[in-house]
């Protein structure tokens, strides 16, 4: 796959993706709004992921990767975590495009429903921990 260096640049030393400046200026307000007003499930999961609480892995929330904003991203593990609510029932095609783009670019993507996060946060954290330790 050929990548346009103006659209995407990957910094190899820390595996961070940066969105080009023009696109980032358009995405920034949306990402900020999503951080300010997370869903209940995103907020609950963030409380367990933030500040390296999970095995020392640092996560970012509402992080842009090219033209997409992902719910949670861990650069060290190249892991994207998506918490899917009701809106995802209506955006399946767009979600598939995003998922394929991320996997094609060597990101590992896992999905949880809002309900599973809200009803079983300890189980979700165990699944993420297991994923981090077995897929490295």
CA distances from 127 to 7, 10, 132, 135 (A): 33, 28, 9, 12
Assess if residue 101 is contained within a domain: yes
Q: How far apart are CA 131 and CA 12, in angstroms?
A: 22
Assess if residue 88 is contained within a domain: yes
Q: How many domains in the chain?
A: 1
List, in order, residues 6 or more apart from 49 with CB less than 8 Å away: 57, 59, 61, 72, 81, 128
User: Tens digit of pLDDT for each residue in 43-84?
Assistant: 999 999 999 999 999 999 998 888 888 999 999 999 999 998
Assess if residue 2 is contained within a domain: no
Assess if residue 23 is contained within a domain: yes
Assess if residue 55 is contained within a domain: yes
Q: What average pLDDT does this structure show over 23-28?
A: 69
Give me the domain span that covers residue 25. Answer: 8-134
Q: How far apart are CA 107 and CA 101, in angstroms?
A: 9
Assess if residue 1 is contained within a domain: no
User: Tens digit of pLDDT for each residue in 114-133?
Assistant: 999 999 999 999 999 998 98
For residue 69, the domain's CATH number is 3.40.960.10
Assess if residue 40 is contained within a domain: yes
pTM of the predicted model, to two decimals? 0.76
């Amino acid at each position: 796959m050929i990548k346009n260096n103006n659209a995407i640049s990957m910094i190899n030393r820390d595996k961070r993706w940066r969105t080009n400046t023009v696109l980032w200026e358009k995405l920034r307000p949306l990402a900020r709004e999503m951080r300010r007003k997370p869903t209940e499930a995103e907020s609950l999961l963030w409380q367990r992921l933030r500040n390296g609480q999970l095995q020392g892995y640092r996560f970012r929330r509402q992080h842009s990767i090219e033209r997409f904003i992902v719910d949670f991203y861990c650069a060290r593990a190249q892991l994207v975590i998506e918490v899917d609510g009701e809106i995802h029932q209506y955006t399946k095609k767009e979600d598939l495009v995003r998922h394929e783009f991320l996997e094609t670019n060597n990101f590992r993507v896992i999905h949880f429903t809002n309900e599973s996060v809200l009803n079983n946060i300890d189980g979700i954290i165990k699944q993420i921990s297991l994923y981090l330790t077995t897929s490295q």
